[in-house]
Amino acid sequence: MFQYEKKLQFPVNIKNPNPKYAQIIISQFGGPDGELAASMRYLSQRYSMPYAELKGLLTDIGTEELSHLEMVGAIVYQLTRNLTIEEIKKSGFDKYFVDHTTGVYPVAASGAPFTAAYLQSKGDVITDLHEDLAAEQKARTTYDNILRLVDDPDVREPIKFLRQREIVHYQRFGEGLQLATDRLDSKNFYAFNPSFDKHCNKKVNNKRM
Amino acid sequence: MDKCKLMREISAVEFAAWELHLYLDTHPCDEKALEMQQKYVERAKELRKEYAECYGPLNYKEGSGLKWVKNPWPWEYMKECDC
């Protein structure tokens, strides 16, 4: 189960609202490599993980991603407070504003709404962990791009924290992949579908099929 | 301790505990890391107790009602909190 902690994982306090920045950063809320996709990916994949360490890792990282979603939401929320209609028109925020006012909605910077098509849960430990490693790098690149576009230190500090977490998660997933490959049958040299086939073979041997 | 300083301290200590917790998922037999993790968890408990008494609960076990619902919520801009 999940319980709320009434604090952010890293503080967000942005003095100067900036709707231009909000439009960019919203991509890490509901975009293709965003925190919502990350959390849903890991919390979905964990059920078919065959090893205790990996069940723990996917649960913990999936949970931390929810905290990151909350931080990105806080950044967007603070960047869009007290705006005038002139500022909204001038910054190009009007295209978001017409559908959501200043409500925080899971959408990519391009305007595409969040979709589960951004993630996969394949039921195969090797496949899923490779997706997870790629996802962490894609999110890291997105944060790098945000840092290329944003000057305000109040915004950059929490973004830098989130970028660092992608790097740590990549490291932990790499260790998870090593743990999984170490346990594969020596005959399964090409590392395909180990958990599903193991289960099927057991049924054949017990004559339940 | 003042509210902002105490919150920063809790965040730092809990971050250290959480980072070690993740590390221990893939290194579950590292006794030294386990000991360090426990140390941070214990320190966080003391700090959280002080925070709940002075400034309000951080989760439902630490308090409910007026103390819980009161502003600010974590996503709100806090001018006085230059952290």
| Residue A43 token pair | 């919390």
pLDDT in tens, A58-115: 999 999 999 999 999 999 999 999 999 999 999 999 999 999 999 999 999 999 999 9
Give residue B1's pLDDT band: very low, low, confident or very high (50, 70, 90). confident
Q: pLDDT tens digit string along B33-63?
A: 999 999 999 999 999 999 999 999 999 999 9
Whether residues B25 and A8 touch (CB distance < 8 A) is answered with: no
Query: Across the strands, what pairs with A113?
Result: A107
The yes-or-no verdict on residue A185 having pLDDT over 80 is no
A–B CB contacts, 8 A cutoff, strictly below? 75
Mean confidence (pLDDT) of chain A: 93
Nearest CA in chain B to A79: B77
Report the Cα B25 to chain-centroid distance in Å.
21
Q: Could you tell me if A10 lies within 8 Å of chain B, comparing CB atoms? A: yes
Query: Per the CB < 8 Å rule, is B78 touching A13?
Result: yes
Q: Is A64 on the interface with B (CB under 8 A)?
A: yes
Q: Do A11 and B82 touch (CB under 8 A)?
A: no
Q: Is the predicted pLDDT of residue A207 greater than 60, yes or no?
A: no
Residue with tokens 């290329």: A148
> Which pLDDT does position A195 carry in this prediction?
63
- Would you say A202 and A161 are in contact if contact means Cβ atoms under 8 Å apart? no
CB-CB under 8 Å, B23 with A179: no
The string of pLDDT tens digits covering residues A6-47 is 999 999 999 999 999 999 999 999 999 999 999 999 999 999
- Contact residues on chain A for B21, CB-CB shorter than 8 A: 60
Two tokens at A136?
A: 């962490």
The phi and psi torsions of B74 (rounded to 5 degrees) equal: -60, -25
Type and span of the H or E element at A161: helix A153-182
With both helix axes pointing from N to C terminus, report the angle between B3-26 and B31-55 in degrees, rounded to the nearest 10: 150
Percentage of chain A exceeding pLDDT 90:
86
Q: How far apart are CA A11 and CA A24, in angstroms?
A: 20
Mean per-residue pLDDT, A186-203? 63
Residues B12-32 have pLDDT tens digits of 999 999 999 999 999 999 999
pLDDT band at B83 (very low <50, low <70, confident <90, very high): very low
Of A10, A53, A77, the CB nearest to B26: A53
* Inter-chain touch B22–A78, beta carbons under 8 Å: no
Task: Tell me the chain B residues in contact with residue A64 when contact means C-beta distances shorter than 8 Å.
Answer: 18, 22
For residue B59, list chain A residues with Cβ-Cβ distance below 8 A.
3-6
Q: What does pTM read for this prediction? A: 0.93
> Shortest Cα distance from A176 to chain B (angstroms)?
6
Report pLDDT for A29.
Answer: 98
